[in-house]
Structure 1
Amino acid sequence: MGGRSPCRALAFMGSKRKVSGLSLPGNGTASFLTTGSSVLHIHNSNVTLLSLDSNTLPLQARGGLNTSSTGSGGVVGLSPGTAATSSGGRGLGGARGQGLAGQGGGALDQLAGEALQTIGGALFEATCFYIASRIIMGVRNLCGKTFVKPTGVKFSDVIGVDEAKQEVQELVEYLKEPMRYKKLGAKIPRGILLVGPPGVGKTMLARAIAGEASCPFYYASGSDFANPYWGMGVQKIKKLFHQARRSKRSIIFIDELDSLARARKSSLSGGSAEMDAENTLNQLLTEMDGFQTQDNVIVLASTNRADVLDRAAMRPGRFDRKVFMDVPDVQGREEHFKRLLKKFTLAKPVDELAPLMARMSPGYSGADIENVVNEAALRAAKHNRTSVTEDDLSWATERTGFGVERRGKITPAELRRTAVHEAGHALIAYFIPDVQAPIKISIINRGKVGGYNLMGESNHTYHTEARLRDEICVFLGGRVAEEMVLGEASSGAYDDLRKASALSRGMVENLGYGKRTGLLSYGAGGQGAGEVSQAALRLLEEEAQSILGSEYTRAKTLVQKHRKELEALVELLLKNEVVHEHELEAVLGPRVADVGVVGIAGEGGVGYGFGGWRL
């Protein structure tokens, strides 16, 4: 070939970029090579070869590379091609070396330059070989862990999500008896999306489905398909579904789907990485419902960000059914505590502790409850006790929800202010008929919370204007008590004012509870709508301020009427630091009613929100 021979190298598919600063052997110029945003073209775990026309490298320098190409686990490449002939080669021992003595220092410099070029070419090939070998090994180790045997998890192990279990029950029956459905012409959902906040048992429910159906279970996380090399995510999707289709029936579970199926944008502002992510999503959509789709694979996925998923993934034929999972209610929490506490040595019976702890943990997920029980056991062991007590569990609930105690970071004057503030919240809640009395009041400084009122969870689905006004009044009770007992309010009421303001704005802007604004809904926040005039915005502010003002006056009236009871509750809090619900009646007297449940009102701003109503 006139002193030149082909050098076989791994083929990169993508844009061509000129290699700068690299001098190849021979004429010292670099040809165009594919780099940067390119990806290996992989087919059936092999690598397509591309012949690059480069100058012949000396046999002495290239022999090592030729032999090393066989030990890369199936990677083919970097073969030097045909050997250089003695007439056209530029080896150190070739024809050019014979005239070295007669050419003086210039020949020696030329020989040294050729030697450096030879080493550079060899290093370039070795680098390509190393990168390609690592990429191919990454393809071979694709995501997806197969449980050939049943997972061992049953529906009885999943607690607090009874509605979700009923939703997926027919899926299990289909996997057990598919012909019963096929005879009727019924098609089972090809994909089921589990939606819910963290810790509610989405992954556990997916494993229970596989355990009940006794079929192979393939697991992958959405982030497993992200890769720095172009096209690797597409290959992983293909490989995962190829493995699953080998079984008669199988389940693929993709955790955290939002990292894989995020909504696509109209413009690719993220460059090649964003384009590769879209290609990976397109491959998933094709595998789930494309031209060659099979019904023996069912895809389960979980996410807590369903709002960011691509619409194409949510259509029927892909994720046909959405199963919403929420934190357990009081009955579900009681079941959680019963199941977990049976594993520990307790100072009281499980049937007595579980209902009590269920009431004291509103808004807790299954993972939170498991953490509470473990923290209680650790505390009991720390104090060398032989059993877990009610005090350990109560302490663990506070520790998990609010943080560690900070007794040394508050002065006696600030502790009294905290007691007055929390007593104000409790007093207002106690004497409003449609609000449940507090379960527990604490002035122990924890984390970012100076104190709190524990009031349970909401049992209301809808909220009237009167009920929402009651909640605002309870929010303002702490500030009013500070002003009337201590003469001025503090920054401890900051979060109470924030919540009360948001609630009053929502009543006017979204629910039509403003007297002068009528039934017109201005959308979330009001100001987000460009068509709202400045006059309308001022009117909304005035209406929200009117609601806050009327409830502030109402709170002052209640505190003035029960001033003695308030001061007695403050002294009890300063003495015991914690007051339980059975102690409140002895201090505050008989209560008018005990209807409904609200939430947590806390100084410092941590709580679950009154009534579960969100703006």
Structure 2
Amino acid sequence: MGNARNLAFWLVLLMLVVALFNVIGGNQTTSASDERDYSEFMTSVDAGNVNSVYINGEKVTYTLSDGTELYAINPGDDALARTLVEKDVTVKGKAQRQSGFQSLLITFLPFVLIIGVWIFFMNRMQGGGKGGAMGFGKSKAKLLTEKSGRVTFDDVAGIDEAKEELEEIVEFLRNPQKYSRLGGKIPKGALLVGPPGTGKTLLARAIAGEAGVPFFTISGSDFVEMFVGVGASRVRDMFEQAKKNAPCIVFIDEIDAVGRARGAGYGGGNDEREQTLNQLLVEMDGFEANEGVIIVAATNRRDVLDPALLRPGRFDRQVTVPNPDIKGREKILGVHARKIPLGPAVDLRIIARGTPGFSGADLANLVNEAALMAARVGRNVVTMIDFESAKDKVMMGAERRSMVMTPEQKEMTAYHEAGHAIVGITLPKCDPVYKATIIPRGGALGMVMSLPEMDRLNMFKDECHQRLAMTMAGKAAEIFKYGEDQVSNGPAGDIQQASSLARAMILRWGMSDKIGNIDYAEAHEGYQGNTSGLSMSAATKELVEDEVRQFIQDGYDTAYKILTDNTEAFERLAQGLLEYETLTGDEIKRVMAGELPHVDEEAEDAKDADKPSLMAVPKTRKRKVEIVKDEDVKPDEDEADKDA
């Protein structure tokens, strides 16, 4: 539709230009070589060489005795006709009267062209929006219909409390007498707050599918334009449309784009955004009541919203949409798994237990990745192996199978990851080790993944100190094995994580006896774990850095002691990683004890042949990795800079 409109505009513009040239050009078809000076024309008249003359305005066309037709331009000789009659020259003429259409066309066509071009470019700057250039102030809210894909509350899982609050709003729209008979009033607005990917927009679509009333949807950024006042006009127009369709629901996604606190930030804020917010506040709860219009908004930045927007009367309910717990994750997996064929051994509860902290969007992506992996290998159903592979890809990144590593790099990576795993298994408050691998994934040369046994709600001081020890175990392992002079830059990411955790313990969580229970990060918006810009004295800042250094050093010392006390298990695990490359948590414990990761026919054959070996590796577990010698390839400094 938009392309056809643009094509029609350009065709009309071209026709107007052609018409303008035709009118201005008139009948000027005579060649420029036939033009003569007016004095030459009068000389020919005086000499009697002109037989006839045709006068058309300033243009005088004359025919000579030999039949040659020429023309001249009259500079303003009013006596020309009298002179020609006196010389017995035949004179013809045309009255110089332009039609009204021609006069209007010549007068107004340039202005029409200018206005047309201005409208076109302004329409393009407005993104071809509703109403074009003359509709800047029109609302861009779209009426959602079932043709867009109907979503109901059955498609929303894992956030039962949020569903209940919103189901009540839907019920109010369906049966208002049930509540109004006791004096209850319909809520004017509901604010959905939660991390990204938790299903806020999906909940809003479910409300639209369940309510059976008109549902308008708009983004917060659609209000704000380059011209001051446009956003406020669009708010007014949106509420006018909503009142005409009441009872209805208006959904504003990412409301923080327009609802930020007024006067905040550098320079005192933004005039256009603040005017838009002021108009929104008035429309939601001003002198005129909006009966039957419910505003549902979503944001993951409640802290930046204006306090006037959050008060009852505007947003009566603030519905928290958190990351789902284990039961919620199982239900969400069940919703997304409806669309794919599952193998008989697939247990969604096991998958839910292994995905703590996943949002609804993460789980949807996990199911999709599992389906793609099953299709890639030609399976007819999705199995648990596909879900495990998809989980590894989502959590640790895709395997970089083409990466070339020297034997020394691979060995150091194995000892580095073995250090993480040994300390993580030894310390009781660390999350259980889920998997260790020395296969490069994402930006890391290797990785140890830990997963909590249940959803974590709190972080305790002893847990933080043990997590610091596990984080610094990679560097401790390298120094324990190769000495301080041979430590690599592989632990760079570990040091960064440990520093961030230590600063959070000291600056935010009050876990330092020397610093005390003061939140120094509270006043610094955008705190990223550094102390620059924090409101503290130089002495306190120095004390904070000393505490951060001490916390990290204590973790390193703990890790080094564990490696010293478990040297044999440390060596076994490192060698096991070199041979198997990937070990799960139970396999790590068996390898540390000097056993095979698992029992299979090949291992039994080796045992029967009196060839006991820790590294009797099943062929099914082998994976070929290209190994080169030092002289064949130079170590990649950029890859070595990644955290193992």
Q: Same fold (TM over 0.5)?
A: yes
Residue 539 of structure 1 pairs with residue 543 of structure 2: yes
Q: Distance in 2 between matches of 1:122 and 1:100?
A: 32
**Residues 441 and 454 in structure 1, CA contact (< 8 A), matched pair in contact too:** yes
**Residues 248 and 294 in structure 2, CA contact (< 8 A), matched pair in contact too:** yes
1:268-307 matches, cutoff 5 A: 274-307=270-303
Task: Specify the SS of the correspondent of 2:184.
Answer: coil
**Residues 147 and 218 in structure 1, CA contact (< 8 A), matched pair in contact too:** no
Residue 331 of structure 1 pairs with residue 324 of structure 2: no
Label 1:203 to 1:574 Cα distance change in 2 as closer, same or farther (>3 A).
same
Partner of 1:168: 166
**Residues 138 and 237 in structure 2, CA contact (< 8 A), matched pair in contact too:** no
* 2:559 maps to amino acid: A
Bigger Rg, which one: 2
1:135 to partner: Cα distance: 1.3
Partner of 1:213: 211
Q: Distance in 2 between matches of 1:282 and 1:97?
A: 66
Q: Deviations over 1:139-167 (max 9, x none)?
A: 67843224389974332211121232233
Partner of 1:568: 572
* 1:247 maps to amino acid: N
Question: Mean Cα displacement is larger for which, 413-422 or 225-234?
Answer: 225-234
1:126 to partner: Cα distance: 4.2
Partner of 1:474: 470
Label 1:151 to 1:311 Cα distance change in 2 as closer, same or farther (>3 A).
farther
Q: Distance in 2 between matches of 1:552 and 1:135?
A: 65
Q: Distance in 1 between matches of 2:552 and 2:304?
A: 35
Partner of 1:101: 74
**Residues 429 and 462 in structure 2, CA contact (< 8 A), matched pair in contact too:** no
Q: Deviations over 1:520-558 (max 9, x none)?
A: 554456846776332222222222222222222111111
1:28-427 matches, cutoff 5 A: 101-103=74-76, 120-121=110-111, 123-127=113-117, 134-136=132-134, 142-147=140-145, 152-228=150-226, 231-265=229-263, 274-350=270-346, 352=347, 354-411=348-405, 412-427=407-422
1:205 to partner: Cα distance: 0.8
Q: Distance in 2 between matches of 1:150 and 1:373?
A: 23
* 2:202 maps to amino acid: M
Label 1:347 to 1:415 Cα distance change in 2 as closer, same or farther (>3 A).
farther
**Residues 213 and 249 in structure 2, CA contact (< 8 A), matched pair in contact too:** yes
Q: Distance in 2 between matches of 1:422 and 1:120?
A: 76
Label 1:269 to 1:434 Cα distance change in 2 as closer, same or farther (>3 A).
closer
* 1:358 maps to amino acid: A
Structure 2: 5+ residue stretches without partners: 1-18, 24-54, 61-71, 78-104, 124-130, 523-528, 595-640
Partner of 2:432: 437
Label 1:339 to 1:523 Cα distance change in 2 as closer, same or farther (>3 A).
closer
Q: Distance in 2 between matches of 1:284 and 1:416?
A: 62
**Residues 151 and 207 in structure 1, CA contact (< 8 A), matched pair in contact too:** no
Task: Specify the SS of the correspondent of 1:497.
Answer: helix
**Residues 509 and 521 in structure 1, CA contact (< 8 A), matched pair in contact too:** yes
Label 1:171 to 1:426 Cα distance change in 2 as closer, same or farther (>3 A).
same
Q: Deviations over 1:328-382 (max 9, x none)?
A: 22322222223333433334433x2x22322333322222222222222222222
Task: Specify the SS of the correspondent of 2:433.
Answer: coil
Label 1:430 to 1:142 Cα distance change in 2 as closer, same or farther (>3 A).
closer
1:552 corresponds, among 545, 556, 573, to 556
Q: Deviations over 1:172-215 (max 9, x none)?
A: 33223222322322233311111122221111111222333322
Aligned residue pair count: 493
Q: Distance in 2 between matches of 1:523 and 1:227?
A: 34
Q: Distance in 1 between matches of 2:448 and 2:460?
A: 23
* 1:164 maps to amino acid: A
Structure 1: 5+ residue stretches without partners: 1-59, 65-92, 105-114, 591-602, 607-615
1:585 corresponds, among 585, 589, 592, to 589
Q: Distance in 1 between matches of 2:367 and 2:515?
A: 50
Label 1:505 to 1:186 Cα distance change in 2 as closer, same or farther (>3 A).
same
Partner of 1:462: 458
2:443 corresponds, among 441, 445, 448, to 448
Partner of 2:616: none
Task: Specify the SS of the correspondent of 1:492.
Answer: coil
Q: Distance in 1 between matches of 2:245 and 2:56?
A: 61
Task: Specify the SS of the correspondent of 1:409.
Answer: coil
Label 1:270 to 1:61 Cα distance change in 2 as closer, same or farther (>3 A).
farther
**Residues 157 and 332 in structure 2, CA contact (< 8 A), matched pair in contact too:** yes
1:428 corresponds, among 395, 403, 423, to 423
* 1:391 maps to amino acid: I
Label 1:370 to 1:228 Cα distance change in 2 as closer, same or farther (>3 A).
same
Task: Specify the SS of the correspondent of 2:428.
Answer: coil
Q: Distance in 1 between matches of 2:199 and 2:390?
A: 21
1:267 to partner: Cα distance: 9.3
Label 1:311 to 1:604 Cα distance change in 2 as closer, same or farther (>3 A).
farther
Task: Specify the SS of the correspondent of 1:251.
Answer: strand
TM-score, L = length of structure 1: 0.71
Q: Distance in 2 between matches of 1:263 and 1:481?
A: 50
Q: Distance in 2 between matches of 1:501 and 1:151?
A: 47
1:129 to partner: Cα distance: 6.0
Q: Distance in 1 between matches of 2:266 and 2:584?
A: 58
1:317 to partner: Cα distance: 1.4
Q: Deviations over 1:282-307 (max 9, x none)?
A: 22222211111223011101112223
1:440 to partner: Cα distance: 1.7
Q: Deviations over 1:569-600 (max 9, x none)?
A: 1222222222112213322359xxxxxxxxxx
Task: Specify the SS of the correspondent of 2:171.
Answer: helix
1:269 to partner: Cα distance: 5.3
Aligned residues with identical type, % of pairs: 36
Task: Specify the SS of the correspondent of 2:252.
Answer: strand
Q: Distance in 2 between matches of 1:498 and 1:383?
A: 39
Q: Give the RMSD, CA atoms, in angstroms.
A: 3.6
Q: Distance in 1 between matches of 2:374 and 2:504?
A: 45
**Residues 345 and 383 in structure 2, CA contact (< 8 A), matched pair in contact too:** no
Task: Specify the SS of the correspondent of 1:335.
Answer: helix
1:508-527 matches, cutoff 5 A: 508-523=506-521, 527=531
1:102 to partner: Cα distance: 3.1
Task: Specify the SS of the correspondent of 1:453.
Answer: strand
Q: Distance in 2 between matches of 1:456 and 1:327?
A: 16
1:226 to partner: Cα distance: 3.4
Task: Specify the SS of the correspondent of 2:491.
Answer: helix
Q: Deviations over 1:502-529 (max 9, x none)?
A: 2223333334433434445544568467
Q: Deviations over 1:221-242 (max 9, x none)?
A: 2222234455443333223222
* 1:583 maps to amino acid: E
